[in-house]
Structure 1
Amino acid sequence: MTAAQPPSAPPVPLVRWEPRVYPGSLALAGRVRSHVCRDLDGFPSGLVDDVQLCASELFANAVVHTASGAPGGEVVCSLSLPAPDRLRLAVTDGGLTPHRPRIPDLDCTEWFTVERHRGLLLVSALALDWGHRPVVSHPRANLGLVVWADFALDPAQVPPGLPAFVART
């Protein structure tokens, strides 16, 4: 006689908004912020402000530093609730750059005078955590990078009626 198998874990509800695809133009950063504001209607305003700023910064980085800014390039932005207490922003670029996102190594005096390269520092300050992963995990593929940022969320402040999908764990 064999021992009974433990029941499999029930499906975990995952809230995920439909990804938005934008042409790779800095002129569209305002539209990105507007869409984030609309998608997060009902969430705490401070959280919405933080996500808008980070979305704008990550969008600009994708346009300026990757193939997304080339003619015909695109940037994909998406939002999800991967856990009840976490909101995730993900920005996917068009790839073809050898550089990976990082906060520049500058000494204290340089930070006061530098005019660029503060975007990821802002993301790091506002998000619980951030990072990146390749769109396709293959040593010869450079098809883009997903840069994500997670934000703390009080589950009691999540508005009802969000676009839920079921993810199997």
Structure 2
Amino acid sequence: MEQHDRIHVEIPAKPEYVSIARLTVSGVANRLGFSYDDIEDIKIAVAEACTNVVEHAYPEGGSIYLACYIYDDRIQVVVADQGKSFDIKDVESRLGPVDAKKPVGDLKEGGLGLFLISSLMDKVEINEDNGVMLVMTKYLYESGVEESVDGISSLQSEQG
């Protein structure tokens, strides 16, 4: 399906600016006709992703890059940084599973952010080619969710 519009925002990677990202995605999702519950899920997922950038990407400051890609049947939200990258396999081995279908009790401390994001969004992908890029998709109608989508996967570099 064809992408229609995109919104790009760059904000300082500081806790006091995470609300700007939440407000941005809330406004876009509301305009697209998402339900109140879906908008809340998107806002929480984006806040978690931005908080991860604030806490882990930049020891001395930097920017959070937020992009919303609008389609007829979904919104795709990208949260990216150009700070300290991480290897998803290493993260999984240290933090436990990030698949939303696995029990929360299997997670070690610190793994709840990715778990929460994957449980709130319909599809979550990570690309770490240059910094970290988290791509989160929420379908407007549940029928758009693919049967095979299950939590977090690696995103091929064609997205970058």
Give the Å deviation of 1:108.
5.8
Matched letter for residue 51 of structure 2: A
The residue identity in structure 2 corresponding to 1:88 is: Q
Cα shift at 1:110: 6.4
Residue 36 of structure 1: SS of its match in structure 2?
A: helix
- The one-letter code matched in structure 1 to 2:132 is L
Name the structure 2 match of 1:6.
none
Q: How far is 1:120 from its partner?
A: 0.8
The alignment's C-alpha RMSD in Å is 2.7
The answer to whether the 8 Å contact 1:92/1:144 transfers is yes
Give the whole-Å Cα distance in 2 for the aligned partners of 1:40 and 1:98: 29
CA 15–70 in structure 1, closer or farther in 2 if over 3 Å, else same: farther
Q: What residue number does 1:59 align with?
A: 50
Q: Deviation of residue 20 (structure 1)?
A: 0.5
Alpha-carbon displacement from aligned partner over 1:24-71 (angstroms, at most 9, x marks no partner)? 10121122112222222332212211110111000011121113x523
Is 1:150 matched up with 2:150? no
Unaligned 5+ segments in structure 2 are 98-102, 143-160
In terms of fraction of residues, the more helix-rich structure is 2
How many residue pairs are counted as aligned between the two chains?
132
Provide closer, same or farther for how the CA distance between residues 23 and 145 of structure 1 changes in structure 2, counting only shifts above 3 A.
same
Contact between 2:86 and 2:132, CA under 8 Å: does it hold in 1? no
Runs (5+) with no aligned partner, structure 1: 1-11, 138-142, 156-169
Query: Which residue does the alignment assign to 1:117?
Result: 111
**Distance in 2 of aligned mates of 1:133 and 1:110:** 24
Deviations 1:100-138 (A, max 9, x none): 385621786565x94x4311111111111111114xx5x
SS in 1 for 2:66: strand
Structure 2-normalised TM-score? Answer: 0.69
Moved over 4 A (4+): 106-111
Taking structure 1 as the reference length, the TM-score comes to: 0.66
Answering whether residue 79 of structure 2 is matched by residue 91 of structure 1, we say yes
Larger Rg: 1
Asked whether the equivalents of residues 24 and 70 of structure 1 are also in contact (C-alpha less than 8 Å), the reply is no
> Identity rate of aligned residues, in percent?
16
Alignment equivalent of 2:21, drawn from 7, 15, 32: 32
SS at match of 2:30: coil
Q: Supply the AA of the counterpart residue of 1:47.
A: D
User: Given residue 15 of structure 1, which amino acid in structure 2 is its aligned partner?
Assistant: H
Aligned to 2:156: none
Match of 1:75 among 56, 64, 68: 64
